[in-house]
């Protein structure tokens, strides 16, 4: 028997119309969200609102620095760093205030939800409640956690190797190669990145879930925290390693990379293919980092917008279409 929580369709429609037309939500609006969806959802939308308001400062400062021709200014970087710390601390205080008003401050620390998948090695009798409580030795869990750390490190190294290899190929083809089919060759690294990296990230995510389950945490909060930490490592490498390689390895050591590439292309094996097909000058470093950062930011925002707005609508339409076909 499937058990589905009741929904207030009228409230959902009114809330969506109000949220779509309003920029800010006051404490009363957050209170209505809390009464309908719970404290966790209300805190999430409170965070979104605070983040939107705080983004005005770095956005305006970034536009001013860009208009002044100082897009890569150290002062702007310092401002963003200070802004990040200030926003994090301010939201922490705001979250604590909301949680205190709603009477849920400190609830996250209360480990009340036990996992049904937890496997106890020994059982003891609680002296207060009299119930049997399962226990798992901390030393054994730390040993399993060490195995998980080693596995995550190995998977992260594999992802780093994949990203570095594709990055080196893209820099070689996109920045220096100017031979036959240069336009087609420039698309090969992009195709490899789109085909290989998501599949490997999915593999890493499944491995993280299996490793976290193997660590056998008793409470759901601990399990989710450990799984989130593992997945964060993989997502960070997937999203940021490419830009890190460009800014901190390729740009400072571009001359050595180009010299090695020219020696490789003038070898006996590759000379017929690309020995005389290398560009004399490549893209300037600042332009390369700027274009790569812009492409990453724009792509991330576009993918996020599609996955959060267009994709749910398409899935809802597809499910409704299937239900209509079934009804007829």
**Over the stretch 171-183, which tens digit does the pLDDT of each residue have?**
777 767 776 777 7
Give me the mean pLDDT over the 99-128 stretch. Answer: 75
Q: Give the pLDDT score at 120.
A: 84
For the chain, the structural domain boundaries read: 10-108, 139-306
pLDDT band of residue 103 (cuts 50, 70, 90) is: confident
pLDDT in tens, 196-228: 888 898 899 999 999 999 999 988 888 998 999
Give me the mean pLDDT over the 2-20 stretch. Answer: 72
**The dihedral sign for the CA sequence 250, 260, 192, 176:** positive
What's the chain's average pLDDT? 81
The number of helices, as runs of H, and strands, as runs of E, in the chain is 13, 2
Task: Select, from the ranges 21-35, 82-96, 189-203, the one with the highest average predicted confidence (pLDDT).
Answer: 82-96
Q: Give the pLDDT score at 1.
A: 42
Range of weakest confidence among 41-50, 69-78, 110-119: 110-119
Indicate the pTM of the whole model.
0.66
Vertex 94, ends 88 and 95: CA angle to 5°?
85
Vertex 86, ends 92 and 54: CA angle to 5°?
90
CB contact at 8 A, 277 and 175? no
Range of weakest confidence among 41-45, 90-94, 192-196, 197-201: 192-196
Interatomic CA distance for residues 25 and 70, integer angstroms: 35
């Amino acid at each position: 028997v499937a058990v589905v929580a009741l929904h207030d369709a009228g409230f959902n429609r009114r809330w969506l119309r109000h949220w779509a037309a309003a920029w800010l939500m006051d404490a009363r609006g957050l209170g209505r969200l809390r009464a309908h969806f719970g404290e966790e959802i209300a805190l999430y939308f409170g965070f979104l609102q605070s983040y939107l308001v705080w983004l005005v400062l770095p956005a305006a400062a970034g536009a001013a620095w860009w208009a002044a021709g100082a897009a890569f200014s150290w002062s702007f970087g310092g401002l963003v760093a200070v802004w990040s710390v200030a926003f994090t601390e301010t939201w922490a205080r705001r979250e604590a205030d909301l949680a205190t008003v709603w009477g849920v401050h400190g609830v996250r620390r209360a480990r009340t939800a036990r996992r049904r998948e937890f496997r106890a090695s020994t059982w003891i009798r609680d002296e207060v409640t009299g119930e049997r409580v399962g226990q798992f030795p901390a030393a054994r869990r730390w040993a399993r956690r060490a195995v998980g750390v080693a596995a995550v490190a190995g998977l992260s190294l594999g992802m780093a190797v994949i990203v570095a290899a594709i990055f080196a190929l893209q820099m070689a083809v996109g920045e220096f190669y100017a031979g036959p089919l240069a336009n087609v060759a420039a698309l090969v690294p992009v195709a490899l990145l789109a085909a290989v990296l998501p599949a490997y990230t999915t593999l890493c995510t499944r491995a993280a879930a299996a490793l976290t389950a193997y660590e056998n945490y008793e409470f759901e909060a601990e399990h989710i925290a450990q799984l989130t930490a593992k997945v964060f490592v993989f997502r960070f490498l997937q999203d940021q390693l490419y830009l890190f390689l460009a800014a901190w390895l390729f740009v400072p050591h571009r001359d050595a990379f180009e010299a090695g590439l020219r020696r490789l292309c003038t070898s006996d094996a590759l000379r017929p293919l690309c020995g005389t097909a290398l560009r004399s000058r490549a893209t300037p470093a600042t332009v390369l980092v700027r274009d790569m950062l812009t492409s990453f930011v724009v792509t991330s925002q576009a993918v996020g917008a599609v996955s959060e707005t267009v994709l749910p609508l398409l899935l809802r339409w597809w499910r409704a279409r299937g239900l209509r076909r079934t009804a007829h």
